[in-house]
Structure 1
Amino acid sequence: MRGPLRLALVNDYEVVVAGLTRMLAPYAAQVRVVEIAANIPVSDHADLVLFDTFAQSMDNVRVEDVAPAGTPVVAYTWESEPDVWQRALDWGAVACLSKTLSAARLVAALEDIHRGGTPDIGHTAAPSVDNGAGVEGARDWPGRADGLTERESEVMALLAVGHSNQEIAELLHVSINSVKTYLRHAYRKAEVNRRSQAVLWALDKGFSPDVLHRRVRGR
């Protein structure tokens, strides 16, 4: 009898992959997290790799840096532009799933991909219809305890490692005005006024990328 899908989670921030692990925990009979990694490619122990694009971009990360050859990678993103699916495929992913999916729908989509199916393109932007799993309540990101939304956190993370507003806009595929709005809200919540203060605040709050590789025991 086939066991649960073996899933590896990849992102540069340990808090992000830890939050995803918690979100998927109730579905262990269907999807088992066997490996988590930050800034280090996973091994070949997983059936699928879920690549969370928080503070990252498929434009400047190679799929080979995420998983070994032959291990399918699924991009997990907020992006909802019509071309996001094609960009993910061109990058090397087998599919692209939206962070607006409920945990149950995310698990169902991952199982479908593992069976060789192709999730509806709508999954790249489909809103969650069931909030029972509390998707945002389970996920986590730097600065959340200080009131930052995930998008504001992404922008602050990219600012903390030296990106300009224009570079952040290009990496996240949003307008420069959107970046300025996210920063304005984040500055207010962080109680800072200048970029230099924001960088120091972000670094103090754990916005520096982590280096992590861990097999999950008992998997």
Structure 2
Amino acid sequence: MRSIIRRTATVVAAGALGLGGLAVAVPALAGNGPFGGPAASSTIFPGGDGPGYGMGNGYGGTHCMGAGLIAEQGALTGAQKATLASIAQREKLAHDLYAAFADRHDAAVFAHIARAETHHLTAVRTLLQRYGVADPTAQRPAGSFTDSAAQATYDRLLKQGDGSLSAALAAGAQIEHDDIAALSAALDGLDAADVEQVYSWLLAASQRHLTAFTS
């Protein structure tokens, strides 16, 4: 299981963003891979986040958003840029928590969804670069966050999930439930097609992950 998690930390940060049918190339995030490591050279969404655990196609295969590219850049307010940074922290929190649970519990769902969260953070980092927003997750080790609230949430849920597999699944469900609420709120009033596209993709993924943890 640990070898599976180690592989999730070496995904892509260059190429094209697979989110629909509008074509815009995105640059490599040199030296700024998904969790503080070097960026690899590949496509941003090479697969691995299918319709969902126990929902027909599992996690592998062609990505559910297809082979299109990211939409055009729009404009973000200061508050929306702050939200984008907070979404990045949420994606890292989810990955780090699920990776930790994969080491503690014999349940493949955690390793699979941790892999998906790696792709999610790569997508958000592309947006951070586009809009000139500092990446709060850059060079942060697993389980470490610049935001005190994110750190407290991680520590609390990690402790909760140590108790049993059912407790870990409940912690995962809580993360996805909170992410759904945050992404739904973040979509309100957006005037940036690329950010809306990524948030919508993340929202759909969180809904699938919530189903995985609760089923």
Q: What's the TM-score once normalised by structure 2's chain length? A: 0.28
The structure whose Rg is larger is 1
The structure with more strand, counted as a fraction of residues: 1
The structure with more helix, counted as a fraction of residues: 2
Q: What's the TM-score once normalised by structure 1's chain length? A: 0.28
